[in-house]
A = this chain, B = another copy of it.
């Protein structure tokens, strides 16, 4: 069961919802295209297309909108099911739906994909990135795709909202990389954002996290099949991608849940004692699971996602404080107590800066044994905090 949910997290298609049993919300993936999109790096992308979903109804004033932004391995499937037969609903189904913390009876909840999604080959993921066809050449962009930033993700979402005539966000809520987008939204478009919820997030990357992210990129670059990003006519660098996916999974977890999920190792397993080429039960298990998911990912997309995260500092201004200074939204920070990837000190630092600026950020920690993933698996433990913040 835990394994299934973890595998699912990597795929990000479906996570166990821990809320009370209710009739499933049925959703459909939609697609949005914007032309001649200019990136922060000053490049132009002829066609940007991303997927999005919506739950609930947009009111006439178009002022009941809550935007959900997704995490690194995720996509816009935050709640509900595509068909009644789907084994699992979207990743935050525990808190998004009729009568739930993010109440779709009241709010029109939009969940948007980002550029350079890690798993472009997963059904229902719609994204634009290095694996997309460059209209100028008729071939995949590869490394000709411009470097994109969290601000670019936000700007694509801004264009999507504009196309729907939405000029105000009642709230923007995101976990992990979704939290970076949420904070960026509040800084980049302060007059649009009334409430911002950062779950397992940070206002800026520090050297520790930048270097941790770099380790996710390096196995791909080391894989000879990567070939400087030109592998679309040949073998994809799946060994490198597999290593990357295991690192992401492990760093998103805490030892307690990781050990509970892993197979036990007998003392001195014979094959492992025979050769350093042979695996161990835990490594065979995690690398085997990741190898199955690797073909759904794109190696270049992973490199671009890593870079977007490495470059993040809210507001992209001279420093973090200046970026945070612009925020007008009410803010709520929900780091996970046992997070080993984006540890609570990061959210605390951001909160302290906001307080020093005379703002009143709310702060609470999610408990659990999943580590970073408690922001997904145990989000319902903060359902009341979240509901109070959103409805206040």
Contact = CB atoms under 8 A, between A and B. Distances in A.
B222 A272 contact: no
Interface residues of A, number: 65
A300 B313 CA distance: 40
Interface string A268-295: 1100111111001111001100000000
Given A267-B317, A318-B267, A250 B211 contact: yes
Contacts of A214: 246, 280, 282-283, 287
A277 to B, nearest CB: 7
A280 B310 contact: yes
25 contacts: A40-B273, A143-B276, A147-B272, A207-B259, A207-B263, A207-B281, A208-B255, A208-B258, A211-B246, A212-B250, A214-B246, A214-B280, A214-B283, A214-B287, A215-B243, A218-B219, A219-B222, A222-B223, A228-B277, A255-B345, A267-B318, A267-B319, A268-B311, A272-B307, A276-B304
A303 interface: yes
A224 interface: yes
A211 B262 contact: yes
B273 A313 contact: no
A70 B283 CA distance: 26
Copies in the complex: 2
B211 A343 contact: no
Top 8 closest A-B pairs, CB basis?
A207-B262, A207-B282, A208-B255, A222-B222, A214-B283, A41-B273, A276-B303, A208-B258
A218 B277 CA distance: 11
A381 to B, nearest CB: 22
A198 interface: no
A48 interface: no
A240 interface: yes
A377 B239 CA distance: 37
Interface in A217-239: 217-219, 222-224, 228, 239
